[in-house]
Amino acid sequence: MMLIFGLMLLLLKIAASVERFCWFNQSGPCNVVLGDKLSLMMTLDASKNDLRIHKRIYNTSDDPFCKIKNDRINEEECDLFKNTLDEVSVNNGILVINPVIRADSGIYRLQVFNSQGVEILKADLQVIVEDVKFTCSFDQSVPCSVALGDELRLKLADPSKNDLRIHKRIYNTPEDPVCRIKNDRINEEECDLFKNRPVSVSNGILVINAVVGADSGIYSLQVFKSTGKEIFNADLQVIVEVSVLCSEGPSSLVHVLVWSFQMVVLLGLLGGFHVYMRLTSGKKEEDQSVRMRRFREGHEDTAEDGRDQQQISSHQ
């Protein structure tokens, strides 16, 4: 059981980093998280057909498009990924965009032509790039978990009416790093908590871009009125996780859970087969032992009958 549980954790971590796959003939839109890797299945054999993808913006000939031949992007006839061409590739009929940006959202049309130039397939796919952001609050009862490299948003209070003070509890002494916020702005002269970090405050929310492992810890928030009276004091534990599972969209989470369930079933079947083989092997050994015992008993009975027969003959 412990082995299966450990494998489950490993599979969840691996699955969390698996790219998002979509198909041009799927019934619903393709949802992908901003910054993730997107793989678009175009055709099973791109080496036999010519492909053309265009983004439907105005539904005119001016819409950006890209031609693909022999499983390669024709750079001379591709303005669809003009600014990110080095991040786009084709492999075995799969178009890979890594990483996706907001501008990748939209409706794409795929056309497939045979060697005679006859269109044999046409399909549309809507791509939705989701900017998933989680906001933690200092009054929440559970720790704030954020994935390494993600954006962390901490809801503070109304900084336009109050003075705020955040400090990271390391030694619980005056030397702990602090940061004062007033009028919805960080007071840079009284802030050594986020030195040389991309940190900002907007509408009472502290935003830390690209969190690092050192951002883990316990933070204390103090809110003061204009008179200097403290009206709020709360702690929040921030945990920076290596796994990016928390930043995945709902569809990716479902994919991970389904895949993990399938792996559990597979492991269960393998475990059941192992138990069956051991029981079968034990049964075979038991049967062999019984046969050998019966053989020896039969041999002994035969030998004893022979001795009795010899004795009878001698008396005669």
Condensed to tens digits (0 to 9), the pLDDT of residues 181-239 reads: 988 889 888 999 887 788 888 878 899 888 889 899 999 999 998 888 999 999 999 99
* Per-residue confidence (pLDDT) for residue 196, from 0 to 100: 76
pTM beyond 0.85, yes or no:
no
pLDDT bracket for residue 102 (50, 70, 90):
confident
Most confident option among 126-130, 268-272, 291-295: 126-130
Distance CA 38, CA 192 (A): 39
Would you state the pLDDT for residue 20?
A: 80
The pLDDT of residue 68 is above 90: yes
CATH architecture of the region 135-247: Sandwich (2.60)
Provide the pLDDT confidence category of residue 2 given band limits of 50, 70 and 90: very low
Rounded distance, CA 242 to CA 32, Å?
20
Residue type, position 213, single letter: G
Quick: pLDDT tens for 246-268.
333 444 444 555 556 666 766 77
Q: Please report, in angstroms and rounded to a whole number, the separation of the first and last CA atoms in the chain.
A: 74
Question: What's residue 249's pLDDT?
Answer: 40
Local confidence band at 111 (pLDDT 50, 70, 90 cut-offs): very high
Evaluated on CA atoms 50, 56, 62, 64, the torsion sign reads: negative
Per the prediction, the chain carries an average pLDDT of 78
pLDDT at site 279: 65
Kindly report which listed range (36-40, 76-80, 112-116, 288-292) carries the lowest average pLDDT score. 288-292
Over 80: is that where the pLDDT of 241 sits? yes
Higher pLDDT, 116 or 250: 116
Provide the pLDDT confidence category of residue 295 given band limits of 50, 70 and 90: low
Tell me: pLDDT of 307 over 70. no
Q: Is the pLDDT of residue 142 over 90?
A: no
Query: Strands, DSSP E only, in the chain?
Result: 20-23, 30-33, 38-41, 50-55, 65-69, 72-78, 88-91, 94-97, 106-113, 119-130, 135-137, 144-147, 152-155, 163-168, 178-182, 185-191, 199-202, 205-208, 217-224, 230-241
pLDDT at 157 over 80: no
CATH superfamily assigned to domain 19-130: Immunoglobulins (2.60.40.10)
- Those residues whose C-beta lies under 8 Å from the C-beta of residue 67, and which sit 6 or more positions away, are 50, 51, 52, 73, 74, 77, 78
What is the pLDDT confidence band of residue 316, given thresholds at 50, 70 and 90? low
Orientation angle between helical segments 250-315 and 2-16, nearest 10 degrees: 150
pLDDT score of 276: 64
Higher pLDDT, 271 or 255: 271
- For residue 139 the two structure tokens come to 């009054």
Domain with CATH 2.60.40.10 in the chain: 19-130, 135-247
Rounded Cα distance between 165 and 167, Å, is: 7
Residue 45 has pLDDT above 80, yes or no: no
Q: What mean pLDDT is predicted for residues 56-82?
A: 88
What pLDDT band is residue 244 in, cutting at 50, 70 and 90? very low
What local confidence, expressed as pLDDT, does residue 164 receive? Answer: 92
